[in-house]
Amino acid sequence: MKQYTFFSLIGLLLLAAAIGFGTVLAAPEPAPVSQASALHPNFILLDADGVNVLESGNAVSTMLTCGQCHDTEFIAAHAFHSDLGLSDYDSASVTFDTSNGLFGQWNPLTYRYLSPAGDENLDLSTAEWLMLNGARVVGGGPATTSRGGAALTDLSVSKSNPETAILNENGSISAWDWEASGTMEMNCFLCHLETPNNEARVKEIEAGKFGNANTATLLGLNIVRKTGSDWAWNTEAFNELGEVNSETLRIQDPTNSNCAACHGEIHADETPLTINACDLDYPQTATTGQVVSAQRINDSGLNLSAKNDITRSWDIHAQRQLECTDCHYALNNPAHASEAQGTNPSHLLYDPRSLEISEYLERPDHNFARGESAQFNVAPEYKGTMRRCENCHDYSKGHADWLPYIETHMDAIACETCHIPQMYAPAIQAYDWTVVTTDGSAVETCRGVEGDPNAVTSLVTGYQPVLLNRTNIDGDSLLAPYNLITSFYWVYDDANGSRRPLRLVDLEAVYLDNGSYAADIVSAFDANSDGKLSDAELVIDTPEKEVLVREKIAALGLANPRIEAITQPYSINHNVTQGKNAVNDCKACHDADSRISQPIKLADYAPAMPHFDLDNNVNGSGEFIIAEDGALYYQPKPENDGMYVFGSSRVSWIDWLGALMFVGSLLGVLGHGAMRYLAARKMPHGAAATRRVYMYDAYRRFWHWLQTTTILILLVTGVVIHRPDIFGAFSFRGMVTVHNVMAVILGLNAALALFYHIATDRLKEFIPRPYGFFDDAILQAKFYINGIFKGEPHPFEKRPDSRMNPIQKTTYFMILNVLLPLQGLTGILMWGVQKFPVAANLFGGLPFLAPFHSLIAWAFATFILVHVYMTTTGATPVEAMRAMVTGYEEVDVHEDKDEG
Amino acid sequence: MKKRPSTHSGHRFPAWTLGLLGILLLILVPVLYFLPSAQKTNDPAAYLPVQAIHVDHSDIVKGEFETGQDVTRACLECHEDAAAKVMATTHWTWESKEFDVPWRDEPVTIGKANQINNFCISAQGNQKRCMTCHVGYGWEEYEEYDYTIQENVDCLACHADMSSYVKGEYGNPAEGVDLLAAARSVRAPTRDNCGTCHFDGGGGNGVKHGDLDESLYFPNEALDVHMGGENNMLCTDCHWTEDHQILGRMLSDNYTIDPQEQVSCEQCHVDQKHGDERIDTHLAAVACQTCHIPALALEDPTKTYWDWSQAAQEGREDDHFTYLKIKGEFTYERNFAPTYLWFNGDNEYRYLLGDPINKDGVTYINKPAGSIADQTAKIFPFKLHIAKQPYDTINNYLLAPITAGENGFWTTFDWNSGFQLAEERMGLPYSGQYGFTETYMYWPTTHMVQPAENALQCDSCHGDNSRMDWEALGYPGDPIKWGGRK
């Protein structure tokens, strides 16, 4: 039980260190200086046999070395970075994806297909997968364990098994001996050393010497040297107990630089930032343009358009000294425990029960808190475990002083949508694997840069992410920013009838002949007839080219070759900026060229129409569009996701119908008016007998004109809100406020007027009398189409107690009982989407309410037009209007009906 | 409803206008109440002093001027009390008001008139050259200066167009100056007037201050947001002046400074916040200058090290920026980060002639006051000037050599003669034994202010690339993790 003693010793050391730490906290001066964790003791480096490497001279075993104190078995078993989809591996999968991780999920960018056992043609074997992807494989999982769960070294070597074979460049297959190559344990050093030698590690992996990879990580730290194929341990780096000094190794919590080794560009020092653009060795940066750096963008070394004015830092969180692990922490880290527990009783705000630090250090969960990105599907059970924006920030405070309808906005838009308004580094746009270059890569295009993304002379323009609706784990649907990458590639049906991507070796056989393009390919593709093929010429844009390539593939004995394409969303969550640089102009979205409906270019030319990758949480509800120049675009369709954005969304038939109604009425009254004018000229002049009547009392006039004003303002502001693109001079926000205030005034005015009419019994004036209604209405209508031109008197006398004719009564009855309430109701519901969205949703939400509101507004506009015209039919054209101002009207004398 | 219509003839306005008014009010009042009001802005430019247009004196000033004093007499004919006002300022006295300092029994004054620095060391006894920057005429080393003679006030130094006026020996007009032309050119002081002495303090461009040099005559916005920005500000836009009393005090020439006498950012930046709570929390402990003056001597280099002990080497080639036989070795630096100290606006210590030096280490010519425990102190940027300057090894105090003139060090290249001359003129006893000791002098930096986009960022001070020595400042560690001062 030697190990037990050792364990206790380490435990004591940890305790002593912890007490020391406590003392430091109690007396803040002087502070610990060292960068590396002072907690970590010196330790013995063990080889795979458990012998001190100083004695054996062998490669180090991380699992045994770190396993002296930490439960490395637990760690390896709780680490999706290590598993990479192995535990999800399903060779029977009908799609290209045999798992949800790097090991098995087919990535059209890296293209090579991890062959399941029993495939007709071997493409990527486990060993070659490791060689190609090893730079981003931390070890353990598929680097040590077979798909069946046995150790790779225990597999019987057979070249018919994709786990123990390798495809040679010439297309032949050899066996792979894992005993000889060694396997790659989970490499603790890679993430826990300040300066791991990743370059040396990757070199060993690419050479297929997996057993050397972890030891190579220590090269250059003055601990070990490589002499030939042997390891020479530097005894001076070890103490008399045979322990390596942890200060020499600088064991530490993972820093941003450690994460950067695999994930993308992270820049931590003051030198001007330069990046490797569209380079899959920096996957996050390549696929999205995300760069994690505190540096101001204008201080960086990129040849970025209008750079001097971009004074924000690349990432505000990096600027504010957050580290990757602050959000992506170990799930059982006691410092973050309360966040990790989602199962607290609802009354409990904080649960103090968590692991002791020593327990945590023994068994730190290496399943890290993660988000819900579209591109990473491994360990889906941990999606949404990380600390997101809202876990740290209270949006209601940050936006309170300027953003109206905060809840409505937050319910529809992810924080990133406004706070990552623009990407300032290039990102991959398309990979065309229907062709291949002489160095065996696809024809790649990059967005956000003019020319070669890595040439210093290329102008980087950056790009605006496309906004797509995604569905979160909690069921919320939010607009969030994405890059879209489209890949084109050949597929065929193998002997088993399985659809497979064309192997790279076959693609090269089709296009290349001894490393240069085959003669028939050159003659078909050489557009400028210079005998050479440039990347621009490598495109299958004619049926002839496609037929040629298809036939050449078929000639290799591959059945049914055809081109497929996929468009994949890549989430953008980093490169966040603070409010003043975020989208904070209403019209950015509430306008005709709204951000939410901006199309994004996918490819200059589409050899095939892609399908949207739906194996993620993004709703691919938009459309693929081929522009006139043949370029392929993706057009988001927010309305397909049930979004209605004022100023941007419109239902065009509603507006056409409304306009038709309005213009029709306009033509009608103009025609009618013209005829009246002509008829009046023929008629004998002479004042008809009129008398002066006090028609409208003061309150009547008051509520009428108040209503007139509010309705007119409502119509005007409504139009501006509806079409901010036409009325750009107005502040969108101001118009919304005025509209809402007017609506309230109109509502109050209408209610008071109703009260007045009920209280004074005048309401009956507005109610059409059923008896003889149609006769009267027809009489009135006949007057308008006939009698009015002949100077006949109005069929019904306008009297203070009966001022309206039957048609008027009907019209007002409809307006007051149907249109006004409907308009008020839809308006209130629309306003209420932030306070009581349930109510609006009962009626179909904004996508129904808003167009309906517009339609009624058209009806109101039409009414006002006709109403104003009808007032001219009084004793003189302006008499009725004057009466509504002064109260007194000259009305025709009706002898027979005069009550005297 | 059958009553006869009234004609409203008795009213000047028809009754319905009242209704119209009511409707307008009902509409406008709520709209104005609810409309999102524009954020109130505190425009700093609004606080700039209105510079009166100066009367053109070219037709007013008459007469033959033989001497500077003639000019001053002419000025005083109209500006009767101007000289008296100037004489109340340190520009005239070269000496501060009296301070009680803990290490002396008697109140002391500080200034070029009686104390030393660690550049050219002493103006005393070196009046011939030094007085070119005194706002008076005829201050000579052999006799006590009479501070009461009004006509000795040099109006032209601050008011003449500097293309027509130069001061020479003992502060008198340089030979060949057309005094009439100079007198006719007078106007409110410009950058040129101030810059002639303050940009070239210490004997050359940018020698003394790390934040004041000749690049400020024509600065662009990137050099100084105030003087180079859209407001194109003059010195007097911040150094508000009333009755010739100019706002602003030099730390090294004072012991304590009344905040009322000091220029501050808040003169114009009233209640101005950053729109970022995180940044605003810094205001309790960090001076504006700390973030907004990220580097010193942006264009022209400034002297950071001066080793007098290397002077007088025979045969060594002179070079303005590295070695002069008369002055010794120097280091000039350009575009470098300041030194940060807690600073409450005062000195904790100012070396007074005769004070003992620190034999075991650095002697401070001045030491800014403040510490993490001092709630009135903020972290502030300084230019630190380090010198090796002579001291009396027996008497154990700093020496002030006479450099210029006959028997001056620059003539004889014999330190003893310079110190003996100083004993004669200044009364500073010299034992005959001298050595060189290291001295520190701190110069607060407040010019060459940068706009927000060039200011320091979080990572400038926090994290791995920090420019702050947090522990030296008294923090247990980086306050982003350890917390700010309580």
Instruction: Using alpha carbons, select from A234, A604, A302 the residue that is nearest to residue A432.
Output: A604
Chain A residues 645-704 with a CB less than 8 Å from chain B: 692-694, 698, 701-702
CB contact under 8 A, B477 and A701: no
| Mean pLDDT confidence for B117-126 | 90
Angle at A477 between CA A473 and CA A478, to 5 degrees: 110
Q: A549-564 pLDDT, tens per residue?
A: 999 999 999 999 999 9
| Mean pLDDT confidence for A365-392 | 90
Asked if B187 and B221 touch (Cβ cutoff 8 Å), the reply is: no
Partner B contacted by A158 (CB < 8 A): no
Structural Rg of chain B based on CA atoms = 29
Partner A contacted by B315 (CB < 8 A): no
Residue B292 has pLDDT above 70, yes or no: yes
Asked if A364 and A253 touch (Cβ cutoff 8 Å), the reply is: no
Chain B residues 453-472 with a CB less than 8 Å from chain A: 453-454, 457-459, 462-465, 470-471
Q: B395-427 pLDDT, tens per residue?
A: 999 999 999 888 889 999 999 999 999 998 888
Task: Please tell me the distance in Å from A158's CA to the nearest CA on chain B.
Answer: 52
| Mean pLDDT confidence for A771-789 | 79
Tokens of A860: 């109101």
Rounded Cα distance between B347 and B326, Å, is: 31
Q: What pLDDT is stored for residue A841 in this prediction?
A: 84
The length of chain A is 900
Q: A594-641 pLDDT, tens per residue?
A: 999 999 999 999 999 999 999 899 998 999 999 999 999 999 999 898
Q: A389-440 pLDDT, tens per residue?
A: 988 899 988 898 888 889 889 989 999 999 999 999 999 999 999 999 999 9
- Of residues A111 and B10, more confidence is placed in A111
| Mean pLDDT confidence for A830-849 | 85
Q: What are phi and psi for residue A99, nearest 5 degrees?
A: -155, 180
pTM of the entire predicted model: 0.85
CB contact under 8 A, B471 and A268: no
Cα A582 to Cα A58, A577, B54, B72, B269: the distances in Å are 55, 6, 47, 61, 25
Q: What pLDDT is stored for residue A343 in this prediction?
A: 67
| Mean pLDDT confidence for A100-109 | 95
Q: Which letter does DSSP use for residue A41 in this model?
A: P
Q: A476-501 pLDDT, tens per residue?
A: 899 999 999 999 999 999 988 899 99
Partner B contacted by A886 (CB < 8 A): yes
For residue A31, which residues of chain B lie inside 8 Å, CB to CB?
A: 470-471, 475-477, 482
Q: What pLDDT is stored for residue A10 in this prediction?
A: 52
* DSSP states along B459-478: HHHSSTT----TTTTT-SS-
Q: A631-665 pLDDT, tens per residue?
A: 999 999 998 988 889 888 888 899 999 999 999 99
CB contact under 8 A, A702 and B35: no
Q: What are phi and psi for residue B66, nearest 5 degrees?
A: -90, -40
Partner A contacted by B25 (CB < 8 A): no
**Which residues, 6+ apart, have CB-to-CB distance to A27 below 8 Å?**
none
* DSSP states along A575-642: S---GGGS---GGGTSSTT-GGG--EEEES--SS--EE--SSSB---SEEEE-TTS-EEEE--GGGGT
Q: Which of A106-120, A167-181, A779-793 has the lowest mean pLDDT?
A: A779-793
Task: Note if the bond before A847 is cis, omega within 30 degrees.
Answer: no
Cα A438 to Cα A454, A505, A523, A533, A720: the distances in Å are 19, 12, 16, 10, 57
Question: 3-class SS at B292?
Answer: helix
From A32, A313, A888, residue closest to B457, measured CB to CB: A313
Q: A703-719 pLDDT, tens per residue?
A: 899 999 999 999 999 99
CB contact under 8 A, B23 and A709: yes
Instruction: Using alpha carbons, select from A138, A246, A141 the residue that is nearest to residue A190.
Output: A138
Partner B contacted by A275 (CB < 8 A): no
* DSSP states along B359-405: TTSPEESEEE---TT-TT-EEEEEEEEEEEEEEETTTTEE-----SS
Asked if A467 and A474 touch (Cβ cutoff 8 Å), the reply is: no
Mean pLDDT of chain B: 91
CB contact under 8 A, B20 and A705: yes
Using pLDDT thresholds of 50, 70 and 90, give the confidence band for residue A21: very low
Asked if A319 and A313 touch (Cβ cutoff 8 Å), the reply is: yes
| Mean pLDDT confidence for A347-357 | 83
The residues that bridge with B307 in the sheet, in sequence order, are B329, B388
Asked if A172 and A122 touch (Cβ cutoff 8 Å), the reply is: no
Task: Please tell me the distance in Å from A227's CA to the nearest CA on chain B.
Answer: 35
Question: 3-class SS at A564?
Answer: strand
Residue A28 has pLDDT above 50, yes or no: no
For residue B5, which residues of chain A lie inside 8 Å, CB to CB?
A: 692, 694, 888
Task: Please tell me the distance in Å from B369's CA to the nearest CA on chain A.
Answer: 22
| Mean pLDDT confidence for A10-25 | 46
Q: What pLDDT is stored for residue A898 in this prediction?
A: 40
The stretches of A320-375 forming alpha helices (DSSP H) are 324-327, 337-340, 357-362
Neighbours of A698 (CB within 10 A): 12
Mean pLDDT of chain A: 88
CB contact under 8 A, A31 and B459: no
Asked if A533 and A522 touch (Cβ cutoff 8 Å), the reply is: yes
Task: Please count the CA atoms within 13 angstroms of the CA of A430 that sit on its side-chain side.
Answer: 27
Rounded Cα distance between B372 and A265, Å, is: 38
- Best residue in A300, A310, A320, A733 to probe B by mutation, most B CBs within 10 Å? A320
The residues that bridge with A230 in the sheet, in sequence order, are A227
Neighbours of A153 (CB within 10 A): 16
Q: A137-168 pLDDT, tens per residue?
A: 999 999 999 999 999 999 999 999 999 999 99
Interface pTM (ipTM) of the complex? 0.82
Task: Please tell me the distance in Å from B442's CA to the nearest CA on chain A.
Answer: 26
Asked if A457 and A525 touch (Cβ cutoff 8 Å), the reply is: no
Partner A contacted by B6 (CB < 8 A): no
Partner B contacted by A270 (CB < 8 A): yes
Torsion, Cα of A836, A837, A843, A849 (10° steps): 100
For residue A740, which residues of chain B lie inside 8 Å, CB to CB?
A: 34
Partner B contacted by A737 (CB < 8 A): yes
**Which residues, 6+ apart, have CB-to-CB distance to A755 below 8 Å?**
none
Q: What pLDDT is stored for residue A19 in this prediction?
A: 46
From B36, B457, B476, residue closest to A296, measured CB to CB: B457
Using pLDDT thresholds of 50, 70 and 90, give the confidence band for residue A504: very high
Using pLDDT thresholds of 50, 70 and 90, give the confidence band for residue A34: very low
**Which residues, 6+ apart, have CB-to-CB distance to A26 below 8 Å?**
none
CB contact under 8 A, B31 and A741: yes
- Kindly state the percentage of chain A with pLDDT values over 70: 94
Rounded Cα distance between B126 and B404, Å, is: 6
CB contact under 8 A, B465 and A744: no
Pairing of strands A632-635, A623-626: antiparallel
Tokens of A341: 């527990």
Express the helix, strand and coil content of chain B in percent, nearest 5 each.
Answer: 30, 15, 55
| Mean pLDDT confidence for B218-241 | 93
Partner A contacted by B22 (CB < 8 A): yes
Task: Please count the CA atoms within 13 angstroms of the CA of A592 that sit on its side-chain side.
Answer: 8
Question: 3-class SS at A437?
Answer: coil
Partner A contacted by B277 (CB < 8 A): no
Q: What pLDDT is stored for residue A191 in this prediction?
A: 95
Q: Which residue of chain A has the CA closest to B275?
A: A580
Instruction: Using alpha carbons, select from A574, A267, A290, A18 the residue that is nearest to residue B464.
Output: A267
Task: Please tell me the distance in Å from B11's CA to the nearest CA on chain A.
Answer: 14
| Mean pLDDT confidence for A832-842 | 84
For residue B475, which residues of chain A lie inside 8 Å, CB to CB?
A: 31
Angle at A369 between CA A367 and CA A370, to 5 degrees: 105
Rounded Cα distance between A505 and A168, Å, is: 9
Q: What is the distance, to the nearest Å, from the Cα of residue B388 to the centroid of all Cα atoms in its chain?
A: 24
Tokens of A278: 């569209």
Using pLDDT thresholds of 50, 70 and 90, give the confidence band for residue A895: low
For residue A35, which residues of chain B lie inside 8 Å, CB to CB?
A: 464
Tokens of B155: 């109006």
Rounded Cα distance between A805 and B355, Å, is: 109
CB contact under 8 A, B482 and A28: yes
Asked if A87 and A479 touch (Cβ cutoff 8 Å), the reply is: no
Residue A14 has pLDDT above 80, yes or no: no
**Which residues, 6+ apart, have CB-to-CB distance to A293 below 8 Å?**
A265, A266, A267, A268, A273, A300, A313, A314, A315, A318
Q: Which of A459-473, B9-23, B457-471 has the lowest mean pLDDT?
A: B9-23
For residue B454, which residues of chain A lie inside 8 Å, CB to CB?
A: 311
Q: Which of A189-203, A357-371, A565-579, B28-42 has the lowest mean pLDDT?
A: B28-42
